Structure 1
Amino acid sequence: MLKYIGIGAAVVAAGAGGAYFYFTQRSQSTKGILGVASVIPQEAQVVMAFNTKSEPWNKLAQFGTPASQKLIGESITKSPLNSLLVQSKTEYSRDVQPWLVGYIVTALIPNPTQPQAPTATLVIAPTSDRTKSDAFLTKYRGALAQQGAKFTSKQYKDVTYYESPTRDPNNSVVTADIGGQFVAIATSSTLIRQVIDTYKGSNPSLAKKPIFAKIFGDTNQTKIVEPLLQVYLDGDVALEFIGSQANLSLNEAAIAQSKRELDAMTLTGGTQKEGLRFEINTYLKNDNSNPLANNDAKVLNLLPQETFLLVSGVNLYQSWQSLVSQAKGNASSAQLIEQIRKAVKDSTKLDLDQDILKWMNGEFAIAAIPNNQGILANPGFGFVAIAQASDQNAAKAALDKIDKVAQSNSGGLLPKAVELKPKKIGDKSVIAWAIGNTNVASRGTLDNNFVFWSMGDLADTFVPKPVNNLPESSSFKILTTDIPKSNGGYFYLNMTTALSLADRLLPPEVKSNPSFTEIRAVLDAINGIAVTSTNVDARTTRLDFLFTLKPTPGN
C-alpha cells in the first residue's frame, strides 16, 4: 500500500505556501505546465500546478459575505503554509515575487528503488532571475539553520544541492537551483537527483508521458479561463489518494479495478463572473464499451421554475446494470446491492431489476419543489420522481402493483393503508393516494412517455404542464451559466431557497451551535450549485461544477 505524506515538511510547506495563497504580481510563463513538467520525473503520481498571475486570484475577493471572507482569512492565517513562511522569515512579495514566473508545481513522487517507502514531495518553480532566486534559497536555508537545520553542500552531475536532516527520519530538507531555470525544494536527496537526471535528459520526464501531454498540451479541453489550480492524479494511485485525503476506507477490489481501468484524473479550478468553477475529468485506458449518451434534458421542462433541488440523468437501468457488474468480485458492494433489492421486494413486492428499473431507460429526475398545501404545510416542500418509460405497459403494471401494495400496506416504505382516488388536473387524470380527506401522494403520466410519483398535492404544480418551467427561470439560467446543456445529468441546488426552508425546520439549538454557524456563514455566500456529467469522448468523462456566489459588498 502506498503511503502519502502531507506537504507539511518545513521546506516544502514554506515553498508551497507562497504559491498557494500569495501569488500576486507576476505574468504567466509561456512554458506553461508542460514546461515545468519537463524536469519532473515521469514517476510523479500527484501533481498540483498553481497559477501565479495576480488577476485570477484577485477575483476571489469579489465573492462572499463578510462572514465567509473573514473565515477564509482566518483559515489562511492559521494554515501551516502561512505559519511556515513566518518560521522561515521569508515574505512572498520581497523574497519570492521578484523572480517567480509561470506555474509553481507541487508533485508527489515515489522512490523507484523503494516502492514501499513514503512518497517524496517536490516543489518546483521557474525562475526569471537566478541571482534573486539563489538569494531566496540562501535566506531560506539560513532561517531554517537558526531553527536547528544543518545543511551540507553536495554535488551531483555538476549541480550543487543543499541537504539537511529533519526530525522525521524519512524526510530531509533539500534545495537546489536547476540550471538557473528552476528552483527546487524537496524532502529527499534521491528525488533531487532524479530531478537533475530529468533536467539533463537521462531520466524520462512527466511532460513526455502520453496521457499527461494529452491533458496539458495544445488540446487541453478545460473551459475555465485562467485556472487557479490544476491537479493531476495518475490512474495507479488516484482512488487511493482521494480515499486518503477524505479519510475513506476503500476495499482492495475497488482499488484494483481502478488501477486496471483508469489512466488519470484531473481537477481544474478557477473563477468566472458568477463564482467558482471546477472540472473533474476521468481518463480511461480503453474505450468505454457502453457509455451513457449526452442528452438535452427534456425532463426539466416538466418541472416548475420554483424547483430548488434536482438530480437528473438518463437510462437509470443501464446505470444500475453497471453498478451490478462492478460489484462482482467485491463482497461488500454485492451485499449492498442485495440489501437494496430485498428492501424494495419486502416493501413493494416488486423485483427491482425486472419490474421497476428495466423500463427506465429514458430520462429520469428526482426534484424538490416548495409547497405549503396539505401534508406539505409543515416542511414547506415535497419531492417528485419522474421517469421516462420505454415500455408504457410495464410502467403501468409496476405502478398498479405499487398502488395495490399501498392499499394493503401496514406501514414502512409506503404510506399506511391508503385509499386510491381518481383525480383530474387540467386534462390529465391522476391517481391520488389518500388517507381520509388528505392526499399523501399522487401518481400519473405526463407527455413523452414520462410517469411520475409525487408527495401530497405537489402534482398540482406541474400537471398537466407548468406555466413557467425550470429551464426558463432566471435562477436556473444563472446557476447553470456556461456548463454543458447537453449532458448525462444534472445536480442543481438553489441554495437561497434551501436555506430559507432549513431555517423553518431546524430547531433553535442546532442553529445556535457554533459549528453550524460557521457552516452557515459559508453557505450564506452561495446562491446555488450546479453540476453536470458529460461524456467528452469514448475514454473521457467530465464533471462540471459551478458555485454561484454572492458578490462581496461593493462588487
Structure 2
Amino acid sequence: MKSRFLFPTLAVVAVTFSLLAVTSWYWILSQSPLNLLEGGVTDYPSAAVFVPKQAPVMVSLLANPEKLESLSQLTVPISQRRQSHQEWQELKNNLLAQTGLDYYQDIQPWLGEEVTLAVTSLDYDRNEVNGVQPGYLLAIATKDRELAKEFLQLSYSQQAIANKVDLAFEQYQGVNLIYQRRGQNSKQPKVWASAVVGDFVLFANYPQVLEEAINNVQAVDLNLTHAVAYQNALKTIVQPRIGLAYLNLPGASAWVGKSATSLTPDIEQMLTVTLSLNPQGLVAQTALIGVAGESARTPLLTQPVAALKYLPSDSILAVAGVDLNDFWQKIVNGIDQDSPLAQFINQTLVSLQTPVGIDFAQDIFSWIQGEYALALVPNSDANQLDWLLIAEKTSTANTEEAIAKLDSLASDQSLSVGNFDVGNSQVTAWTKLKTAARNQLVSLNAEVKGAHTDRENYVILARSIETITKAIKPNHTSILEQPNFKKAIASLPTNNDGYVYLDWETGKSIFEQKLPIIRVVELAAQSFFSHLKSLTLTSLGSENGIRRATIYFNLDFS
C-alpha cells in the first residue's frame, strides 16, 4: 500500500521542485544582465501613456543602468573593467549633476527598468509674456513604491528647509502631487512637481506639465501610446532593444531653435529610433514616417556591391549602392539645407569639385544608374582628402559620352588632358602646368587635378594619381577586407540598399575640423565617442509609407 502512494508522492515532489527550479532560474535571469545578451528587451516604453501624442521628443532607457553596467563588466577585458566602472559612475553623476541628487543614495534603491524623458510641449503655458518655456517630464519606473514615496518626502523636506520654500500637497484626478511653492526671495526650484502614479515616479518642471501627464493617462486618445504614427513605426521595429527615441521632427527642430511654434506646421514627419546591444557595439533601428511620395519598396541588394573591391582599406568615408543619382536626390530632399550636416556636405563638395570646375551632382551623379562606390581617402597630406568614385557601366547610360564631357569641362578650365600608363592600365589625367624657378632655372611642373580610367565594367575617377593607383593596384587591400568594415557588414541586415561607412577612429580629426558641431556632441557623450571606432548606416527600403534604416556603431573597449 505504501508503494502505491510512494511514486505519486515522489512525482508531485519532483514536479514541485522542477517548477521551483524553473521559477528560480527565471527570476535569476530576470534580475541578471544576461537577459540583455540577445540585444535587449522586447518591451516598449510604458511611460509613453504620460506623454502627449504631439510631444516633440521622447527618449527612453528600457533597462536598469545597474544591469547595463554589469553586462559591460562581463563583456570588457578584465584589464578595462575598472575604467568601465568609472565611466558608468561619471555618467550617472553627470546626469544628476544639476538636480542635487545622489544616484546611489536617492535613486538606485527604488529604480526600476525604465527611465523616460520627454519634451511634452514647446511652451507649456503658451504665454508670450513670460517667453518660451518648454514642458519637461521625467518618468522613472520604480520597483518599490514605498521607497520612492519616502525619497520624495525626504528630498522635498530637505529642500524646503534649505531654500525656505513651502511644500504644497494637492490632489489632482485622485493623484497626490507634491511641489514647492516659492517665497518672494527664493530661487526657482530645480524640480517643481512630482508624484507617484502606478509604478512610475513622475517629475516635471511645472505642476501644469504633471497635470497634463495625468490627463493623458486617463484620456487614452491624448497619449503617445495610442498615436497611430507611433504604433505603425513600432510595428516595423521588432528587434530586442535597450532604448527608444521618438521625435516629431518639426517639433523637435522648433525645440532646438527655442521656438514656441513649429516653422513647418503642415509637415508631419516622425522618426523612431531603437537601440540594441550587439557583441561588437550597438545597433540602431530607425523608422521615418511622413516622407513625401514614399511608397512600398524592398531593398535592392542581397550582398555588398562589387564596386567596393576598388576602394582602399584606408577610406575614412565610403558610400556604396545602386543608382547614385537617386541616392543623391534623397539626400538633397531629405536634409534641411540650413542644417550643419547640409552645410558640411555642400562645403565638402565645393572643395572637391572647384579645382576641376565640375558640378558633381549634374556632371557625374546624374548618369550613374548602376553600382557605385564613393570614398574619401587620405592623401600624402594627412589633413587633406582625395575623392574616389567607382561607377558601373550600364546600357541605360552613355558612359563614354559622359566621360568625354568631363574631359571637355576640364579642358575648358585650362587643364591639360592627357593619357599615360599606370601598370597595365591607361589613365587619363587632368593637369595644370605650373612654372617654378630654382637657381635661376625655370622648370615646368604638372599638378594633377583629376584622373580616370576603366577597369572591367567600371569607370574609376579620382582626385589624384596616387588615389587612382591605390584603386587599381593588383592585390591591393580593399575596404572589404578592412576589419571594422567586415564587422559592420556582419552586424547589418543582408538585404539592404547599400552602405554609408564612417571610419571615426582614423578620420576623427578631419571630421572635427570640417564639422565643428561634432566637438559639442563629443563633449556631451564623451564616454561613447572614446570607444567608437566606426559607424555604418544602411537603408532597408520602405514599408507602408515608413522608411527604415539600420545604423551599426562599432565600439572597442580593449
Q: How does 1:218-237 map to 2 (within 5 A)?
A: 219=235, 221=237, 223=239, 225-227=240-242, 229-237=243-251
The residue that corresponds to 2:479 in the other structure is: 470
The residue that corresponds to 1:448 in the other structure is: 457
Q: How does 1:1-40 map to 2 (within 5 A)?
A: 32-40=43-51
Secondary structure at the aligned position of 1:487 is classed as coil
Secondary structure at the aligned position of 2:399 is classed as helix
Secondary structure at the aligned position of 2:225 is classed as helix
Asked if 1:46 corresponds to 2:60, the answer is no
Q: How does 1:80-479 map to 2 (within 5 A)?
A: 81-84=96-99, 87-88=100-101, 90-92=102-104, 94-110=105-121, 114=126, 118-148=133-163, 149-165=165-181, 173-178=192-197, 180-201=198-219, 204-216=222-234, 219=235, 221=237, 223=239, 225-227=240-242, 229-241=243-255, 256=263, 259-284=265-290, 288=294, 294-295=300-301, 296=303, 297-321=305-329, 355-369=363-377, 376=380, 382-390=386-394, 394-407=398-411, 409-410=413-414, 417-418=415-416, 420-423=418-421, 425-426=423-424, 428-433=425-430, 440=448, 441-463=450-472, 469-479=478-488
- Cα offsets for 1:305-333 (capped at 9, x unmatched): 45443233443323455567789999xx9
Question: Contact 1:172 / 1:189 at 8 angstroms: preserved in 2?
Answer: no
Pick which of 333-342 and 281-290 moved more.
333-342
Gap change, CA 1:79 and 1:524, over 3 Å in 2 = closer
Alignment partners' CA distance in 2, 1:545 and 1:335: 22
Alignment partners' CA distance in 2, 1:461 and 1:30: 45
Gap change, CA 1:294 and 1:150, over 3 Å in 2 = farther
- Cα offsets for 1:54-73 (capped at 9, x unmatched): 33343445569979869956
Letter in 2 for 1:145: A
Alpha-carbon distance, 1:181 to partner: 3.2
The residue that corresponds to 1:540 in the other structure is: 546
Secondary structure at the aligned position of 2:194 is classed as strand
Question: Contact 1:151 / 1:164 at 8 angstroms: preserved in 2?
Answer: yes
Gap change, CA 1:344 and 1:185, over 3 Å in 2 = closer
Gap change, CA 1:215 and 1:147, over 3 Å in 2 = farther
Letter in 1 for 2:47: V
Asked if 1:56 corresponds to 2:60, the answer is no
Question: Contact 1:446 / 1:452 at 8 angstroms: preserved in 2?
Answer: no
Alignment partners' CA distance in 1, 2:150 and 2:248: 35
Alignment partners' CA distance in 2, 1:293 and 1:470: 22
Question: Contact 2:321 / 2:373 at 8 angstroms: preserved in 1?
Answer: yes
Structure 2: unaligned runs, 5 residues or longer: 1-30, 434-443, 514-521
Question: Contact 2:316 / 2:502 at 8 angstroms: preserved in 1?
Answer: yes
**TM-score, with length taken from structure 2:** 0.69
Question: Contact 2:296 / 2:541 at 8 angstroms: preserved in 1?
Answer: no
Secondary structure at the aligned position of 1:207 is classed as helix
Alpha-carbon distance, 1:350 to partner: 6.4
Alpha-carbon distance, 1:81 to partner: 1.5
Asked if 1:484 corresponds to 2:493, the answer is yes
Secondary structure at the aligned position of 2:55 is classed as coil
Gap change, CA 1:520 and 1:396, over 3 Å in 2 = farther
Gap change, CA 1:419 and 1:402, over 3 Å in 2 = same
Alignment partners' CA distance in 2, 1:185 and 1:520: 27
Secondary structure at the aligned position of 1:385 is classed as strand
Alignment partners' CA distance in 2, 1:430 and 1:484: 37
Alpha-carbon distance, 1:477 to partner: 0.9
Alignment RMSD (CA, Å): 5.0
Secondary structure at the aligned position of 1:151 is classed as strand
Alignment partners' CA distance in 2, 1:338 and 1:263: 24
Alpha-carbon distance, 1:156 to partner: 2.0
The residue that corresponds to 2:11 in the other structure is: none
Name the count of aligned residue pairs: 487
The residue that corresponds to 2:556 in the other structure is: 550
Structure 1: unaligned runs, 5 residues or longer: 1-22, 411-416, 507-515
Question: Contact 1:356 / 1:395 at 8 angstroms: preserved in 2?
Answer: no
Alpha-carbon distance, 1:288 to partner: 0.7
Larger radius of gyration: 2
Secondary structure at the aligned position of 2:367 is classed as coil
Alpha-carbon distance, 1:420 to partner: 0.7
Gap change, CA 1:42 and 1:274, over 3 Å in 2 = same
Gap change, CA 1:290 and 1:299, over 3 Å in 2 = farther
The residue that corresponds to 1:13 in the other structure is: none
Alignment partners' CA distance in 2, 1:454 and 1:50: 45
Alignment partners' CA distance in 1, 2:46 and 2:208: 22
Alpha-carbon distance, 1:152 to partner: 1.0
Pick which of 181-190 and 134-143 moved more.
181-190
Gap change, CA 1:220 and 1:294, over 3 Å in 2 = same
Alignment partners' CA distance in 2, 1:395 and 1:208: 52
Gap change, CA 1:74 and 1:32, over 3 Å in 2 = closer
